[in-house]
Chains A and B, each alone.
Chain A
């Protein structure tokens, strides 16, 4: 079974801190995605990556950056956390550009205080 693992289920950080959310997948998937989920807004795409060292902005990239140094790992970085970044963050991966189903991690609920 494909497994997508996010490093933390719950995280509490202070305003202004630099925050790293890690995501690892074990099935050699080319594509990886970071979404945030907020009540009433569904899932919104922050960044995605189709290959190592490659990244593309999603719909709401402001305040975030990403890193993909290895194929299996996709990191989301909050350069200076703010309270409006309190949210559920979901990582996903897909096998290739044939647009198959996405496999999701369990989510990280981040609270910025």
Chain B
């Protein structure tokens, strides 16, 4: 079963606009992570936020975590064509047996 579910499934924006995607999960977590996957490649880690954190920044990325709503959001500011990729959230927690569980992903297309 999938712990994380991303929303929307796909997103198309113009270069320079912001992209926001959301992740909802079902059970208590220790950490939530976001990954990027370029077409046909492996996943690359972007950012990790711990369950006791509410917001984290890394360059043009901003992640929020609301444990009361069991949700997280990833914001990419001033998007570039190179940001075109699929983005996945991943969670780990005791209910998942410390496994890293991924959602279905959001496909982002940034048009030049």
Binds B, one of A39-47, A66-74, A79-87: A39-47
Contact count band on A:
20 to 34
CA distance A99 to B31 in the complex (A): 8
Specify the chain A residue showing the minimal Cβ separation from B91. Answer: A99
Known: A59-B1, A99-B30. A106 touches B42 (CB 8 A): yes
The answer to whether B30 and A42 touch across the interface, beta carbons within 8 angstroms, is no
Within 8 A of B (CB), among A32-79: 33, 35, 40-45, 48, 56, 58-59
Within 8 A of A (CB), among B26-72: 30-31, 33, 35, 40-45, 48
CA distance A101 to B48 in the complex (A): 7
The answer to whether B33 and A104 touch across the interface, beta carbons within 8 angstroms, is no
Contacts of B44 in A (CB 8 A): 104
The answer to whether A42 and B104 touch across the interface, beta carbons within 8 angstroms, is yes
The answer to whether A35 and B42 touch across the interface, beta carbons within 8 angstroms, is no
Contact count band on B:
20 to 34
Known: A90-B43, A99-B92, A104-B42. A43 touches B102 (CB 8 A): yes
Specify the chain A residue showing the minimal Cβ separation from B4. Answer: A42
Specify the chain B residue showing the minimal Cβ separation from A94. Answer: B100
Known: A40-B104, A41-B104, A42-B104. A99 touches B43 (CB 8 A): no
Instruction: Tell me the B residues contacting A by CB distance below 8 Å.
Output: 1-2, 30-31, 33, 35, 40-45, 48, 88, 90, 92, 97-105
Nearest 5 A/B pairs, CB to CB = A104-B42, A42-B104, A43-B102, A101-B45, A104-B43
Name 26 A/B residue pairs within 8 A (Cβ), A-sorted. A33-B99, A33-B100, A40-B104, A41-B104, A42-B88, A42-B102, A43-B88, A44-B102, A48-B99, A58-B99, A59-B1, A88-B40, A90-B42, A92-B43, A97-B98, A99-B92, A99-B100, A100-B48, A101-B33, A101-B45, A102-B45, A102-B100, A104-B35, A104-B44, A106-B41, A109-B40
